[in-house]
Amino acid sequence: MQWKTSISRADEKETLVRGYDLMELVENLTFSQAIFLVLKGELPTNEQARMMDAILVAPIEHGVSVPSAYSSRVSISTGQPLNAAIAAGILSIGEYHGGAIEQAARLYQENSGKGGKQIIEEYAKAGKRVPGYGHKIYKESDPRAQTLFKIAREVKIFGNYCKLALDIEKEFKKTGKPLPLNIDGAIAALISEMGFDWRLGKAFFIIPRVVSMTAHAHEEVTKEKPFRRFEESEIVYEGPAKRELPKEYRKK
């Protein structure tokens, strides 16, 4: 099997990452700068590096109540190693949890010529939800999206993708049933501004969530008894009543 790659070249003498000596990167870059380099192929400007830090800090921890946090606790409670627990957590990042970044980034990148009104109409016609809008708790405005956009303006990352993202929000407001731009949508617009392909979208949620999963799995394994089992009182059985196995299925 053959592997073609532009990401790195490693031999006995040195490891080059996107052309740079890995040891030079270790000595000089922040983790965010290095993430930008590995994913994009080029070094970030100072402004992009600042934006990357904000984007990666925003999803870092949102409480134990969400699947990606407690799934890693459940896994490690059964005696699994830390990496298996983190993998279990990542398998709870789907369309309804972090997955909207990818779809929203795709929407912005593939519809850059359109306005919010047109996009909302097209999605309504196709019977689909516009990804990146609405939140269970933040009904009017998602403070995390607002903070990220505030920083984007400060560092002059704010551009046409962000404008489109806000235009959609504005149009939703007019409908009387406002759906605020949420953190997924904001991250989607910002990575589009920095030139990241939408197919990378989920990674900007997954990378920081791994930090959260690590902290939760560690807390579980050091503070709790093994084996997270639900209580009978939390279970409602709705299946058939007890029944006999018919005679023709019996061995004797």
- Identify residues 74-93 at the interface with a second copy (CB under 8 A): 74-75, 77-88, 90-93
What's the closest the beta carbon of residue 139 comes to a second copy, in angstroms?
9
- Candidates 107, 99, 74, 108; CA nearest to 89 is 74
What's the closest the beta carbon of residue 105 comes to a second copy, in angstroms?
12
**Cβ-based nearer residue to a second copy, 118 or 203:** 203
Identity of the amino acid at 62? H
Q: Is 20 in the site for a second copy (CB under 8 A)?
A: yes
Determine the Cα–Cα distance for residues 182 and 146; give it in Å rounded to an integer.
9
**Cβ-based nearer residue to a second copy, 177 or 225:** 225
- Candidates 217, 222, 164; CA nearest to 192 is 164
What's the closest the beta carbon of residue 115 comes to a second copy, in angstroms?
27
Angle of helix 203-223 relative to helix 82-90, nearest 10 degrees, comes to 130
- Candidates 182, 191, 176, 169; CA nearest to 120 is 169
Question: Given the rule CB under 8 A, which of 112-120, 123-131, 167-175, 214-222 is the region that contacts a second copy?
Answer: 214-222
- At residue 178, φ and ψ (nearest 5 deg) are -65, 140
Strand order, beta sheet including 20-21 = 8-10, 15-17, 20-21
Determine the Cα–Cα distance for residues 180 and 172; give it in Å rounded to an integer.
8
Q: Is 143 in the site for a second copy (CB under 8 A)?
A: yes
Whether residue 98 contacts residue 209, with contact meaning beta carbons closer than 8 Å, is answered with yes
**Cβ-based nearer residue to a second copy, 160 or 221:** 221
DSSP string computed for 162-177:
HHHHHHHHHHHHHTTS
What's the closest the beta carbon of residue 223 comes to a second copy, in angstroms?
7
Residues 154-193: x where in contact with a second copy by CB under 8 A, - otherwise, as a string: ----------------------------------------
Q: Is 140 in the site for a second copy (CB under 8 A)?
A: no
Question: Given the rule CB under 8 A, which of 105-113, 131-139, 156-164, 174-182 is the region that contacts a second copy?
Answer: 131-139
Choose which of 132, 180, 185, 208 interacts with a second copy (CB under 8 A): 208
What's the closest the beta carbon of residue 197 comes to a second copy, in angstroms?
7
